[in-house]
């Protein structure tokens, strides 16, 4: 029977330039490579094998947390290879797991071909900067590059709150403290309640998951800090609505006013396979909060933000479909892949000269 150790599977994943390892009872281990799921040629996994693989990387405390909650987020490292973000869960009564590659080396703004305006955004003295996109769209990688740019260029105190800690930052010009949910603090909300006493200049919130975390994140930006956070939304106008809609109706006008004051920029991203087949590239929608954007947010007319995005190029703004069109015209991505990621496929098809 062909059976591999977890480290062997993860080494294979990294050697294939994959992003995720999937472990499911009744199926062989699978790798996500350049966005596509590929089954390995190993034997299907049994309950015993998955238990051995997964419990083998947990200490007793983590094992007990998983058995109680039936969910667990943690990280795992293989020296000299990579770190991995691990999510363990139950499905149909069996243990399953997904492990995401987090390289030791943090790529910079140039490496990732991030929008040039980001160099300016990360140097803002205060405000809320949101990085959004679906799961697996590279938000954590983008945030890490932004934090690292500050780390090399500005003397400040950065506190990150993550679940789990992904990229490991070393102090350069800045001082960085990384706090992990479950290990260093009980929740995002708990960490945010106490963060002001830790004298931060910059705060990074791994994910705004609930009303309390959103409210505390906005308040942190209101107190004069630069705050970075992520959300699972697909474009900038939808991001504004999503935050406001989380709050009860009687508080929404107040949140609109707060958001119109503190929001500095929204960067929405998605990943596409490169036409050459050598990995993936990110496409971006960038909204900068100029006075017209703030007025629209205050008045609750988020749908009008689409027209501002179309005309705001001189401020560094770009619509997702504009960036997709550019990537296609440069032959970096295929038309079908760009169309699949477009926010308005009908309009995109008309605007692209094939």
Place of tokens 């000299």: 80
Per-residue pLDDT tens over the stretch 84-105: 999 999 999 999 999 999 999 9
* Domain 118-351: CATH architecture, name and number where available: 3-Layer(aba) Sandwich (3.40)
CATH class of 6-102: alpha beta
Report percent pLDDT > 70 for the chain.
99
The predicted structure's pLDDT at residue 34 = 87
The predicted structure's pLDDT at residue 279 = 87
For Cα atoms 203, 207, 208, give the angle at the middle one, nearest 5 degrees: 90
Tell me what the pLDDT averaged over the chain comes to.
Answer: 94
Report percent pLDDT > 90 for the chain.
94
Assigned token pair, 84: 């991995």
Q: Which residues pair with 97 in a beta bridge?
A: 23, 88
Q: What does the pLDDT average to over 307-316?
A: 94
Predicted TM-score (pTM) of this structure:
0.90
φ, ψ of residue 12 to 5 degrees: the values are: -65, -45
Per-residue pLDDT tens over the stretch 235-284: 999 999 999 999 999 999 999 999 999 999 999 999 999 999 888 999 99
Pairing label, strands 30-33, 157-162 = unpaired
φ, ψ of residue 57 to 5 degrees: the values are: -105, 5
The predicted structure's pLDDT at residue 136 = 86
- Residue 29: helix, strand or coil by DSSP? coil
Distance CA 263, CA 227 (A): 10
pLDDT at 1 over 60: no
- What are the residue boundaries of the structural domains of the chain, listed by start? 6-102, 118-351
**Cα 121 off chain centre by:** 17
β-sheet with 280-288: strand ranges across: 175-180, 157-162, 202-205, 226-231, 127-132, 263-273, 280-288
The predicted structure's pLDDT at residue 159 = 98
The predicted structure's pLDDT at residue 352 = 86
Per-residue pLDDT tens over the stretch 53-83: 999 999 999 999 999 999 999 999 999 999 9
**Cα 54 off chain centre by:** 24
Pairing label, strands 175-180, 202-205 = unpaired
Distance CA 84, CA 6 (A): 12
Q: What does the pLDDT average to over 110-114?
A: 93
Going by C-beta distance under 8 Å and a sequence separation of 6 or more, which residues neighbour residue 120?
316
Contact 204, 161 (CB under 8 A): yes
Place of tokens 């000269």: 353
DSSP string, 186-248: S-HHHHHHHGGGG--SEEEES---SHHHHHHHHHHHHTT-EEEEEE--SSHHHHHHHHHHHS-
The predicted structure's pLDDT at residue 354 = 64
Q: What does the pLDDT average to over 7-15?
A: 96
Per-residue pLDDT tens over the stretch 138-165: 999 999 999 999 999 999 999 999 999 9
Fold match flag (6-102 vs 118-351)? no
CA 309 vs CA 127, 270, 289, 316, 326: distances in Å:
20, 17, 10, 9, 16
Contact 282, 142 (CB under 8 A): yes
Q: Between 47-55 and 6-15, two packed helices, what is the crossing angle to 10 degrees?
A: 80
Per-residue pLDDT tens over the stretch 161-172: 999 999 999 999
- Region for residue 213 given its phi and psi (left: phi exceeds 0; alpha: psi -120 to 50; beta: otherwise): alpha
């Amino acid at each position: 029977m062909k059976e591999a150790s977890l480290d062997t599977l993860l080494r294979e994943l990294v050697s294939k330039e994959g992003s995720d390892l999937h472990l499911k009872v009744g199926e062989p281990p699978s790798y996500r490579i350049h966005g596509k799921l590929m089954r390995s040629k190993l034997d299907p996994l049994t309950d015993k094998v998955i238990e051995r693989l997964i419990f083998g990387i947990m200490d007793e405390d983590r094992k007990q947390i998983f058995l109680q909650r039936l969910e667990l987020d943690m990280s795992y490292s293989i020296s000299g290879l990579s770190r991995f973000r691990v999510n363990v869960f139950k499905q149909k009564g069996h243990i399953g797991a997904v492990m995401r590659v987090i390289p030791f080396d943090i790529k910079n703004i140039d490496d990732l071909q991030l929008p040039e305006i980001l160099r300016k955004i990360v140097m803002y003295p205060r405000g809320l900067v949101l990085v959004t996109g679906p799961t697996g769209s590279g938000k954590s990688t983008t945030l890490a590059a932004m934090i690292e740019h500050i780390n090399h260029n500005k003397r400040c105190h950065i506190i990150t709150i993550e679940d789990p800690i992904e990229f490991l930052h070393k102090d350069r010009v800045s001082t960085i403290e990384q706090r992990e949910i479950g290990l260093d603090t009980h929740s995002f909300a708990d960490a945010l309640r106490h963060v002001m006493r830790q004298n931060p200049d910059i705060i990074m919130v791994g994910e705004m998951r609930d009303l309390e975390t959103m409210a505390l994140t906005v308040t942190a930006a209101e107190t004069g800090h630069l705050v970075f956070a992520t959300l699972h939304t697909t474009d900038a106008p939808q991001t504004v609505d999503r935050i406001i809609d989380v709050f009860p109706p009687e508080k929404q006008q107040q949140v609109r006013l707060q958001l119109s004051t503190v929001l500095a920029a929204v960067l929405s991203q998605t990943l596409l396979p490169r036409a050459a087949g050598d990995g993936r590239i990110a496409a971006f929608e960038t909204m900068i909060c100029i006075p017209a954007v703030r007025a629209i947010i205050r008045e609750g007319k988020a749908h009008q933000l689409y027209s501002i995005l179309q005309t705001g190029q001189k401020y560094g703004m770009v619509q997702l479909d504009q960036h997709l069109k550019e990537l296609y015209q440069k032959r970096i991505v295929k038309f079908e892949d760009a169309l699949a990621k477009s926010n308005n496929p009908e309009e995109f098809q008309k605007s692209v000269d094939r």
